Structure formats: C-alpha cells, structure tokens
Amino acid sequence: MNESRETRIPLADLAEEVREQWDALSRAVLDVLRSGCFVLGPNVQGLEQEAAAYLGVKRCVGVASGTDALIIALRAFGVGPGDEVITTPFTFIATAESVSRVGATPVFVDIEPDSFNIDVNRIEAAITPRTKAIIPVHLFGLACGIGAVMEIASRHGLKVLEDAAQAFGGSSKGRKLGSIGDAGAFSFFPSKNLGGWGDGGLISTNDDGVADAALVLRDHGSRRRYYHDVFGYNSRLDEVQAAFLRVKLPLIDRRNQARREAAARYDRLIAERAGGRIVAPPCPDPAEHVYHQYTVRIPGGRRDRVRQRLSEAGIETAIYYPVPIHRQVIYDLPAGSCPNAEAAAAEVLSLPMWPGITAEQQERVVSVMCEAL
C-alpha cells in the first residue's frame, strides 16, 4: 500500500524540535559564526559547566562523539592492553569497540530478558584478575541496576564507566545517570534525547584526575600547545555544536517528560488491543525512564512480518539490535553464549518515538501492528 508523504510516520521527527526552537537555535549558531571562535571557545566551556550542574557532577569534558567519550574515559582510567572490561552484548557496537580500541578485551555478560540491560547477577562470575572496569549501558533510556554494579565494583576494586549515550536526563533512585559511576559517557548524535547538529559527546565525572586526563587526551595529548605528553586524539567538541546544545539543554526535562507521556499511551494501547501478543517494555519507575526508544518484543517469529506490514503502511521502525555484539564477525563468539541477548535480537522492534508524536499517530501504529498479528 502506498502512503502519501503526509501520512507517513517516521521513527523520529528530528525537525520538530528545530522548528519549535528555530529562533534561538539559529541565533546561537549565527553568533558563533560572527565570533570567529570555532574550536574550544566559550560555548564549549559553558556547555561543560551547565551539563555538570544539570547532572550533579564536578566536571564535564566535551569531545567529538559518544564513541570518543567511551574511549577517552577508558584511557583516563588507565585501561589498556592486557586488561578486560565487562559489558553487555546487547547495545550499539561503540560500547565494545571502545574497549577494543584501547587494546583491552571486552567480556560479554548476558542481559535481563525484560529490561534488555546487563544482568548484574551474572557480572561477578565474569570477573578475573585481568578485569579492570565495567561498562554498564542504560539501554533505550532505562537505567540498568547501577547501584548493584557499583557495589560489585567496589568489592573488586574496579572502575565503572556508565554508557549513558541513550539516557541523557535519565536517573536511578533520584541520581542522574552519568553521575553514579567513576565516569559517564554521553552521545549528542542528532537522534539522541539531547541531540546536536551532528556528532558530539561528553564525559561526566566527579574525579578531577579523570577530567584532567580527558582534557589532555581530547587535544592530541597536549597540556601546553605543541608539547605532547601522551598519544591523544583530535576529539574536541565543536563550538557550533556546543552552542546548539546549550539552547536545547534547558528544555531536556520537558521533552523527556513528553517522551514518558507518549510511552504511557503506547503502554495503554498495547495492553488494550494486543492481548499479550506484543510485550511492552518494563518501567520500574516511570519518572526515571527517558525512552530514547520505545522497544517492544514480538515473540513467536512474527516480528519481521509485523515490521513489513508497518513499512507498507508508511510507518518507520527499527531493530536495535539485529545481531548482538558477541556474534558480530569482529568478535564471533559461539552462538548460545549470551542466549537472552540472542533471543532479544530476534524479537525486538523499536516503534516511532519522539516528544511531539501525536496520540493519533500512536493509535495508527498500534492498529497496524494488531492487524498484522
């Protein structure tokens, strides 16, 4: 069935937020252009200070991407060749890739089947004398069991790097995600809850040593211009991106609340119409989830048929993630080594989600899904 452009429903409408904040965003960008200060200027410093205040941490360091935030934070921890880092196999490749890029080995611990987050009850069994750190991921905007992760890390003398790339503004027991571990890593990719005009990232920490190391590593390993103490990176957050994000940061709580309200509508519609054929995502505390994605499970081998029907109706969806990281060619661990992640990969489907999605659009999404089932 062919649908007109007006009736299509995207996975996310990134232009909606730009339209809403057009005057402020365009003014901020033009001010940077007029200033002639494009690298590590006042907007980067301002964003770092404002983000630190929002997250409740001492320091934030802006970098060029969420992946760089992970890599640089690991380097700041002293993680390197010969070390192991425990993480989840069910997330974007950047989480494990960052471990490999610093020369360490990712050790995959299976997920909880309902939350999609790392199963904290399996972490301790994966610790070896080579383990240096844990990277728990707050997947889709839902906090993992970060309190339990911190207790395990404390007992074993391990560092914790929160991968909060999908969870800016989320919290756990009243504390902002990214403020609980030894450091947090955020992505400002345009589709994120707090998204930029392109790539960007942020490291959050209460450890001055980590922050100072990150400042050096993001700028070619230099503490003083043209003097280089370590091998670093060209990973400076652009001034234009920082200006763009400073406009959007004060509105993040309102927009995350709109995501929660949209998720609650999906929950009601699925409960009323799907009759258990679609498994809605869990939410232990609705006030803390920020729903970067609204991801359901469609069991019984029907996921791909439902997705095809949605596509024919002009409704965009996504599969996050079709192949768990441990089964990717670059790692190629045996099938069955993380069975919950493998089962999730065969059943998950992320539905259209953004702060401005309408009730009518959501009703249409669920109606087409139910027809397909």
Q: Which run of H or of E encompasses 312?
A: helix 303-312
Looking at the structure, tell me whether residues 243 and 256 fall in a common domain: no
Task: Give the per-residue pLDDT at 285.
Answer: 84
Task: Give the per-residue pLDDT at 203.
Answer: 98
Looking at the structure, tell me whether residues 27 and 38 fall in a common domain: yes
Q: What is the mean pLDDT of the chain?
A: 95
Q: Is the preceding omega at residue 233 within 30 degrees of 0, hence cis? A: no
Task: Give the per-residue pLDDT at 339.
Answer: 98
The pLDDT-based confidence of 2 (bands split at 50, 70, 90) is very low
Better pLDDT: 244 or 224: 244
- If you average pLDDT over residues 188-209, what whole number do you get? 97
Looking at the structure, tell me whether residues 241 and 286 fall in a common domain: no
Instruction: For the chain, give the number of residues.
Output: 373
- At 254-283, the pLDDT tens digits run 999 999 999 999 999 999 998 778 999 987
Q: Give me the domain span that covers residue 26.
A: 16-249
- If you average pLDDT over residues 56-69, what whole number do you get? 98
Looking at the structure, tell me whether residues 74 and 200 fall in a common domain: yes
Domain annotation covers residue 4: no
Phi and psi of 219, rounded to 5°?
-125, 60
Better pLDDT: 283 or 124: 124
If we measure between CA atoms, which residue out of 132, 127, 141 comes closest to residue 187? 141
- At 3-25, the pLDDT tens digits run 444 589 999 999 999 999 999 99
Last residue of a domain, one of 217, 249, 281: 249
Looking at the structure, tell me whether residues 259 and 152 fall in a common domain: no
Residue type for 232, please? G
Sheet of strand 59-63, all strands in order from the earlier edge strand to the far edge:
59-63, 201-205, 183-187, 159-163, 131-135, 84-87, 105-108
Domain annotation covers residue 1: no
Residue 30 pLDDT greater than 60, yes or no = yes
Task: Give the per-residue pLDDT at 286.
Answer: 80
Helix (H, G, I), strand (E, B) or coil at 174: coil
Looking at the structure, tell me whether residues 153 and 257 fall in a common domain: no
Residue 299 pLDDT greater than 70, yes or no = yes
- If you average pLDDT over residues 30-45, what whole number do you get? 95
| DSSP-derived pairing of the beta strands 159-163 and 183-187 | parallel
Residue 41 pLDDT greater than 50, yes or no = yes
Domain annotation covers residue 134: yes
Task: Give the per-residue pLDDT at 283.
Answer: 77
First to last CA, the chain: 17
Q: Does pTM top 0.75 for this prediction?
A: yes
Looking at the structure, tell me whether residues 200 and 341 fall in a common domain: no
- If you average pLDDT over residues 333-341, what whole number do you get? 95
Lowest mean pLDDT among 124-128, 173-177, 274-278: 274-278
Q: Which long-range contacts (CB under 8 A, 24 or more apart) does 44-49 make?
A: 44/236, 44/237, 44/239, 44/242, 46/242, 46/246, 47/202, 47/237, 47/242, 47/245, 47/246, 47/249, 48/202
Domain annotation covers residue 69: yes
Total domains in the chain come to 2
- Tell me how far apart the alpha carbons of residues 132 and 349 are, in angstroms, rounded to a whole number: 34
Last residue of a domain, one of 249, 276, 305: 249
Percent over 90 (pLDDT), the chain: 94
Task: Give the per-residue pLDDT at 1.
Answer: 41
Integer CA distances (angstroms), 335 to 95, 113, 163, 370, in order? 20, 17, 25, 32
Looking at the structure, tell me whether residues 184 and 264 fall in a common domain: no
Which distant-in-sequence residues (6+ apart) come within 8 Å of 201 by Cβ? Answer: 62, 63, 64, 65, 66, 67, 68, 69, 185, 186, 187, 188, 235, 237
Q: Which run of H or of E encompasses 100?
A: helix 94-101
Task: Give the per-residue pLDDT at 287.
Answer: 84
Looking at the structure, tell me whether residues 194 and 295 fall in a common domain: no
The pLDDT-based confidence of 289 (bands split at 50, 70, 90) is very high
